[in-house]
Amino acid sequence: MQFQICNFKFQILSIFALMYYLILGLLYLFSFLPLWVIYRISDFISFLLHYVLGYRRKVLMKNLSIAFPEKTEKEKMALIKKFYRNFTDTFLEAIKLLSISEKNLRKRIQFDPSVFNELYRTGKSCQVHAGHNFNWEWVNVRVAKELLYPYLAVYIPIGSKMLDRVFKYFRERTGTTMLPATDMKNAMLPYRNKQYLLALVADQNPGDPSKAHWVKFFNRWTPFVTGPEKNARLNDIPVVFARFSKPKRGYYLVETKLASLHPAAMKEGELTLQYVRYLEAVIRKQPEVYLWSHNRWKWEIKEEYENRKVEDEKNFLPRS
């Protein structure tokens, strides 16, 4: 009986491995298509998402109405149309990573690593706080080759193990180490006594809003995860804010700003507040490249969260 169970498990694993390599092979073939062909496919998929499926349209309209109450219905619909195209571009461009040359990627993504290299020479690690801006997939691969630091990027595992493994392969093929946000404590253990650069998408929804920092984001009280700030302050790790913009289709610009050399000297909530103000400014500059399908305002402020509010320098939380 035990042998039969082991044999069944082996068969399941074999089928899983076969499907993984089959999917990866098909994606490899797709990746050899010229970008102009991939963008025509992206146009078609974004058309389907917009006009046929209406993918998360209610969430998109809700988020844009909160962020830009001054915009007309027509202006918001135009933003939604641009969003869909950038959204599908991002995931098809990720597949292109399987075969795109390093030279081509360097040409398409402008990035100056000097701020990180200067921090590396101080002997300290570094944290990067970015937002859900397109195209993080290309940026991750591009910057990993330029840094003196070992490059660690935090990600939310995909529900499908097959897709999660495929995307992890995309992301790690040039030297990035992906760390699951669901097990950060254990994932960071090998690096605790080493220099590293840790990249975090710091505008994730918190699992527990009662333990979040509540900050006015587009003039609405919004919970932000405390982990990025907490780790920076606890270990006094310099923090850099990063912005990704899209000057034109297929081209990206990475801009950075040194936020703090000594986060340990900051009050609780101060770094998160700075990040939120930075993120707001980034989004306003090019709103169509932000992930509006992310249900960012699913939590409502409650009376019991009052002591978690952070609004300005007079309202920081007590030092923890």
Residue 207 has pLDDT above 90, yes or no: no
Q: Give pTM, 2 decimals.
A: 0.87
Q: Which two tokens stand for residue 236?
A: 């006094």
CB 310 within 8 A of CB 301: no
The answer to whether the bond into 140 is cis (omega within 30° of 0) is no
State the pLDDT confidence band at 258, using cuts at 50, 70 and 90: very high
- Apex CA 176: angle with CA 89 and CA 239, to 5°? 95
In angstroms, how far is CA 238 from the centroid of its own chain? 19
State the pLDDT confidence band at 160, using cuts at 50, 70 and 90: low
Model pLDDT for residues 208-222, shown as the tens digit of each residue: 999 999 999 999 999
The answer to whether the bond into 135 is cis (omega within 30° of 0) is yes
Model pLDDT for residues 68-97, shown as the tens digit of each residue: 999 999 999 999 999 999 999 999 999 998
Query: Would you call 18 exposed, middle or buried from its count of C-beta atoms within 10 A (0-12, 13-18, 19+)?
Result: exposed
Tell the residue number behind the tokens 């527990």, with chain if given: 208
Residue 25 has pLDDT above 90, yes or no: no
Model pLDDT for residues 223-246, shown as the tens digit of each residue: 999 999 999 999 999 999 999 999
AA identity, residue 27: L
Domain boundaries, the chain: 17-296
State the pLDDT confidence band at 20, using cuts at 50, 70 and 90: low
Q: Would you state the pLDDT for residue 18?
A: 63
State the pLDDT confidence band at 17, using cuts at 50, 70 and 90: low
AA identity, residue 230: K
Query: Pairing between strand 220-224 and 213-217?
Result: antiparallel
Query: Would you call 123 exposed, middle or buried from its count of C-beta atoms within 10 A (0-12, 13-18, 19+)?
Result: exposed
